[in-house]
């Protein structure tokens, strides 16, 4: 009986210290409680269209999220756009402006790391307590709570 109890306690403790991961689609929500970090990663969805104007039904492969934090009762919006190119256009001027080319593809993954000592209460880094991540876009997102 003592062995069963000990194994049960170890199993529950292992679950409580392990990372939680979930893939959420449009309208779904994932929760993290007192996480030291939260990783958000957009699914790799092609930016494909059959429309003559170039419109897509998947937000060009970009993911849109609402992040609500109980630590300060604020909501922050995060967009992950791995298919969005934000290169500067001065690459085609052959150096006439003298400015270096900047930009690149958008991020497909971001990790929020706990910053409990941050001086402003509206910081996205304050992920202590309950954090709710809601997918408001068309692309699925993987949420990993550590």
> Is residue 13's pLDDT more than 50?
no
| Mean pLDDT value of segment 90-101 | 71
The whole-model pTM stands at 0.72
pLDDT tens sequence across 19-73: 578 999 999 999 999 999 999 999 988 766 777 776 677 777 789 999 999 888 8
Q: Over 60: is that where the pLDDT of 16 sits?
A: no
User: Which structural domains are found in the chain, ordered by start?
Assistant: 18-145 (2.60.120)
**Contact (Cβ atoms closer than 8 angstroms) between residue 36 and residue 19:** no
What is the mean predicted confidence (pLDDT) over 122-126?
65
Q: Which residues pair with 109 in a beta bridge?
A: 41
> What value does the mean pLDDT take over residues 109-130?
76
Which residues have C-beta within 8 Å of that of residue 14, sequence separation ≥ 6? none
Is it the case that residue 78 has pLDDT exceeding 60? yes
Q: What pLDDT, on a 0 to 100 scale, did the predictor assign at position 39? A: 97
Q: DSSP letter string over 6-62?
A: HHHHHHHHHHHHSPEEEEE-TT-EEEEES-SEEEEEE--------STT---SSGGG-
């Amino acid at each position: 009986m003592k062995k069963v109890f000990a194994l049960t306690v170890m199993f529950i403790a292992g679950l409580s210290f392990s990372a939680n991961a979930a893939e959420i689609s449009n309208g779904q929500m994932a929760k993290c409680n007192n996480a030291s970090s939260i990783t958000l990663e957009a699914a790799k969805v092609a930016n494909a269209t059959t429309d003559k104007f170039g419109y897509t039904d998947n937000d060009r492969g970009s993911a849109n999220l609402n992040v609500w934090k109980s630590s300060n009762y604020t909501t922050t919006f995060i967009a992950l756009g791995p298919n969005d190119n934000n290169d500067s256009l001065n690459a085609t001027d052959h150096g006439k402006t003298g400015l270096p080319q900047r930009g690149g593809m958008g991020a497909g993954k971001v990790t929020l790391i706990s910053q409990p000592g941050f001086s402003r209460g509206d910081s996205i880094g304050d992920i202590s307590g309950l954090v709710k991540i809601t997918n408001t876009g068309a692309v699925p997102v993987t949420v990993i709570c550590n």
